[in-house]
Amino acid sequence: MKVNLVEAADLVGGKIFGNYNVEIENIAKIEEAQQGDLTFLYLPAYEKYFSSTKASAILVKPNFNKTRNDITYIEVSDPNKAFFKILIHYFSPEFHLSGIDPTSFIHPSAEIGKNVSIGKNVVISAGCKVGDNVKIFHNTVLLDDVFVGDDSLLFQNVSVREKCRIGKRVIIHPGTVIGSDGFGFFSDEKGVYHKIPQIGIVIIEDDVELGANVTVDRASLGATIIKKGVKLDNLVQVAHNVVIGENTVISAQTGISGSTKIGKNCMIAGQVGIVGHIEISDNVILIAQSGVSKAITKPGQYFGSPAKEFKTALKLEAHVRNLPDYANKLSEMENQIKLLKEEIKKLSK
């Protein structure tokens, strides 16, 4: 498609410098952009590509040094966010799936809303309710009494087990499993483990997005709850009875143990591990590979294993890196003390 540059600039509140008649055919990174592309520049590290980019137009911050006359500039306060706004408005991908494929199985008791599209080999079991404008791609399975809200998108090979609830405008990427059994066992006097039935459900509220191969376990009792606006990256494990607060984002390979409650507007980076039965405050940032072993009761940045306030963790890390120097200094001090003792011994004779 072709996008009029004036319309794009109006969308993001930008000011054009250069050719107003440019039409954008695509968007691209500054180092890869070609003629007809729109790109953006917001970090100093990427300024090295400015002289060689072939883009037709570029989003820049105010007062950027516009040394090239063959490119059109759009000044905005935040080129990064402006670029994403244009991407969403004009270049969002369309997922083509229409009608109900004859290879799918829909139980007679299931209720299917208006304009629902269902792909090949999809199974929708007894008592399920699927809202309007939902797309369910190939090989996805909804077991008994599952509810899916309006305008949701379930990609290939998603599994949603019995009685789980999915809100409106939810996106679930391929391979994700909702409502698998929580990891619940007890050992008898002989050390043999016995399964504890997991009879709760999963509730996923509106505007949630779950990446590929995410696992959200059903509660042992009650519900595992993913609240409104949460975004989970690929390969995140959410254990039974976890509650994740609104608009929290969690990066890949993070694992959250059972019955932990995470607050609103948190940011959890990759490979973070969180123990069970604790609470994490609103507005907490957990740096990558942190291990959370106890409750976090106030907002802020945390890092390390066990996780500590970020400034404290950096100080400790600096001391750890200096341990070889500390050891050498201690050895020197020990030698000096030894020599002093020998001198004192000689003087005392």
Q: Of 96, 240, 277, 319, which one is the catalytic site residue?
A: 240
Tokens of 4: 């009029």
> What does the longest C-alpha to C-alpha distance in the chain come to?
106
Tokens of 204: 């996923």
Is the alpha carbon torsion for 227, 219, 239, 235 positive or negative? negative
| Collapsed DSSP state (helix, strand, coil) of residue 347 | helix
Q: Which residues neighbour 156 within 8 Å (Cβ) at sequence distance 6 or greater?
A: 119, 137, 138, 139, 140, 174, 175
Is 240 considered catalytic here? yes
Pure H helices in 170-322: 310-321
What is the enclosing helix (H) or strand (E) of 309?
Answer: strand 308-309
Tokens of 93: 């991908």
How many angstroms separate the CA atoms of 158 and 173, rounded? Answer: 7
How many angstroms separate the CA atoms of 289 and 66, rounded? Answer: 41
Q: Are 160 and 141 in contact (CB under 8 A)?
A: yes
Q: Half-sphere exposure of 313 toward its Cβ, with a 13 Å CA cutoff?
A: 18
Tokens of 323: 């341990």
Q: How far apart, in Å, are the Cα atoms of 80 and each of 54, 235, 297?
A: 19, 27, 33
Q: Which residues are catalytic?
A: 240
